[in-house]
């Protein structure tokens, strides 16, 4: 097993340490859920109950798991097995599709979070194949030729997950008291990115993190993971790290920075990190559900009035994404930009 180079080693106050908290994170069961408009009184009250559970979880945790979500197991199995085959290839082969500062899609094994190198390899792709962040910067997917089924497996995964993400978004927006579809238009032809994460077993899991503590900049993250576990979230109740139960039958959902802004701070994006271990490799694949780059996120009009003034200035997604991404590539010698920089002091 490779030695841990100094570039991965965290300052002592940010090392993983012991986490004793039990999970307690809400698991929301969508069994029997009809995604379209509820018709019978039972359907309506079922929808209301789900919306309520989502609202409570979003407010209390900024994080929850969903089960019986309707995404087929075959789609999940295929993306996982293709990803494992890809990460198993020689480094030279994987680097044929290396991500660069100009085109942030593809393979990368040198990502920094909070200016320290993460113990992981990733492969990023866009659900929509190509996205123009500005006229000079266009991202396009870089598909490897090996394994041959990789591209189809990834495309099937992102299509199924984007459809689900729209539905989760509607429930989140409805739980805020706004029309369920109020934000949908921003996500049509949006910039949703999928990440395949591979965390190799590590000789010194106490010194490193798979991903250092961070918040996701997007609107919502939906994440599938294997049974190994390692994701931890910072509880808003007591500021303690909580280990998330790894469930193959669930997606972990987190509130991202943009929903924090749209909800006028009612739902806060959650800090999280990933610990690694010395015995097993771990796989996860988050979908960062994101609007078009042209989107300016601002508190929903339904939530703002004289008594509740807007707590955030509009956030242009292209600008915010660019600022955050720059810190992933190189140590800029300062803390990464945070959504609180857009807060308005009242």
Ligand X SMILES: O=C(O)CCC(=O)C(=O)O
The Cα 64–Cα 93 span in angstroms is 37
Q: What share of the chain is helix, strand, coil (3-state, %, to 5)?
A: 30, 25, 45
CB of 256 to ligand X, least distance (A): 10
In a 13 Å sphere around the CA of 342, the CA atoms on its Cβ side amount to: 25
Find the DSSP H helices in the chain.
41-60, 73-88, 91-94, 150-175, 184-187, 257-262, 317-329
The answer to whether residue 223 forms part of the interface with ligand X (CB under 6 A) is yes
The answer to whether residue 286 forms part of the interface with ligand X (CB under 6 A) is yes
Residue 141 binding result from Fe ion, ligand X, none, given CB thresholds of 5 to 8 Å by partner type: none
CB of 277 to ligand X, least distance (A): 13
The answer to whether residue 105 forms part of the interface with ligand X (CB under 6 A) is no
The answer to whether residue 231 forms part of the interface with ligand X (CB under 6 A) is yes
The answer to whether residue 269 forms part of the interface with ligand X (CB under 6 A) is no
The answer to whether residue 284 forms part of the interface with ligand X (CB under 6 A) is yes
**180 versus 339: smaller Cβ distance to Fe ion:** 339
Strand partners, 253: 64, 222
The answer to whether residue 272 forms part of the interface with ligand X (CB under 6 A) is yes
Please check whether residue 107 is in contact with residue 99, taking contact to mean a CB–CB distance below 8 angstroms: yes
Q: Which stretch binds ligand X (CB under 6 A): 6-14, 19-27, 127-135, 223-231?
A: 223-231
The Cα 319–Cα 321 span in angstroms is 6
**78 versus 216: smaller Cβ distance to Fe ion:** 216
Please check whether residue 285 is in contact with residue 79, taking contact to mean a CB–CB distance below 8 angstroms: yes
Name the site residues for Fe ion (rule: CB under 5 A). 216
Rg (CA), the chain: 20
Residue 195 binding result from Fe ion, ligand X, none, given CB thresholds of 5 to 8 Å by partner type: ligand X
The answer to whether residue 114 forms part of the interface with ligand X (CB under 6 A) is no
Length of the chain: 346
The answer to whether residue 104 forms part of the interface with ligand X (CB under 6 A) is no
DSSP state of 21: B
**120 versus 311: smaller Cβ distance to ligand X:** 120
Of residues 199 through 218, those in contact with ligand X by CB under 6 A are 211, 216
Tell me, by CB under 6 A, how many residues bind ligand X. 11
Residue 197 binding result from Fe ion, ligand X, none, given CB thresholds of 5 to 8 Å by partner type: ligand X
The answer to whether residue 266 forms part of the interface with ligand X (CB under 6 A) is no
Nearest to residue 184, comparing CAs of 198, 171, 200, 199?
A: 171
The Cα 167–Cα 190 span in angstroms is 15
CA 280 to chain centroid, in Å, comes to 22
CB of 241 to ligand X, least distance (A): 13
The answer to whether residue 69 forms part of the interface with ligand X (CB under 6 A) is no
- The site for ligand X (CB under 6 A) is made up of 195, 197, 211, 216, 223, 225, 231, 272, 274, 284, 286
């Amino acid at each position: 097993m490779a030695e841990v180079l100094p570039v991965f080693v965290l300052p002592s106050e940010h090392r993983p340490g012991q986490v004793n908290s039990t999970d307690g994170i809400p698991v929301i069961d969508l069994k029997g859920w009809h995604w379209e408009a509820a018709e019978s009184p039972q359907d309506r009250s079922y929808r209301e109950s789900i919306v309520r559970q989502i609202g409570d979880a979003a407010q209390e945790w900024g994080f929850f798991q969903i089960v019986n979500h309707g995404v087929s197991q075959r789609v999940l199995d295929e993306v996982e097995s293709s990803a494992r085959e890809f990460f198993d290839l020689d480094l030279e082969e994987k680097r044929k599709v290396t991500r660069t500062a100009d085109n942030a899609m593809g393979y990368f094994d040198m990502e920094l979070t909070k200016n320290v190198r993460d113990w992981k390899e990733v492969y990023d792709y866009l659900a929509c194949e190509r996205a123009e962040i500005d006229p000079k910067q266009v991202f396009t997917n870089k598909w490897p030729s090996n394994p041959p089924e990789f591209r189809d497996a990834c495309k099937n995964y992102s299509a199924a997950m984007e459809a689900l993400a729209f539905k989760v978004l509607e429930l989140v927006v409805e739980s805020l008291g706004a029309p369920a579809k109020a934000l949908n238009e921003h996500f049509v032809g949006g910039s949703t990115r999928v990440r395949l994460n591979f965390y190799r077993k590590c000789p010194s899991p106490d010194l490193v993190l798979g991903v250092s503590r961070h918040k996701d900049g997007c609107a919502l993250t939906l994440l599938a993971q294997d049974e190994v576990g390692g994701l931890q979230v910072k509880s808003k109740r007591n500021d303690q790290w909580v280990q998330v139960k790894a469930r193959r039958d669930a997606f972990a959902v987190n509130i991202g920075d943009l929903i924090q802004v749209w909800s006028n701070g009612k739902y806060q994006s959650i800090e999280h990190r990933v610990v690694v271990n010395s015995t097993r490799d771990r796989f996860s694949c988050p979908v960062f559900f994101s609007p078009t780059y042209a989107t300016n996120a601002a508190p929903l009009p339904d939530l703002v009035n004289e008594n509740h003034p807007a707590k955030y200035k509009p956030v242009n997604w292209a600008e915010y994404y660019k600022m955050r991404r720059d810190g992933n590539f190189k140590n800029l010698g300062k803390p990464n930009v945070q959504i609180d920089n857009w807060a308005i002091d009242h």
